[in-house]
Amino acid sequence: MLKSCSRCSREAELSVVCVVSTLGTRPRRQKCSAAVLFCHRCMRDLLEEGGHILSDNFRTSVNNAYTQMDRALRSSGKGSDEENV
């Protein structure tokens, strides 16, 4: 089954995923965002528009991954201190 680009109706050729990972902790915790699909033309257009590939779909996906990571860390007692953010 062919999947569509997240910006247009053309066939998707690329997927972009962000990995949110803790540093300096063991075990390391990681969470991947959902893949956001692009065709080559839309990816090229996004990059030419200032080098930003943060479409609304991708921004939402990364935010969800971070939120899940933050909740997991907070529940383990290793969460970030909001006063220091």
Mean pLDDT of 17-26: 85
Is residue 22 one of the residues assigned to a domain? yes
Percentages of the chain per state (helix, strand, coil), in multiples of 5: 40, 15, 45
Question: Mean pLDDT throughout 3-9?
Answer: 92
- Domain of 22, in residue numbers: 14-76
Residue 23 lies in a domain: yes
Q: Does the pLDDT of residue 53 top 80, yes or no?
A: no
In a domain, 6, yes or no: no
Q: pTM here? A: 0.63
| pLDDT score at 10 | 96
pLDDT band at 16 (very low <50, low <70, confident <90, very high): confident
Q: How many domains does the chain have?
A: 1
Where residue 80 falls among pLDDT bands split at 50, 70, 90? low
**Residue 42 counted as domain residue:** yes
Instruction: Tell me whether residue 53 is in a domain.
Output: yes
Is residue 5 in a domain? no
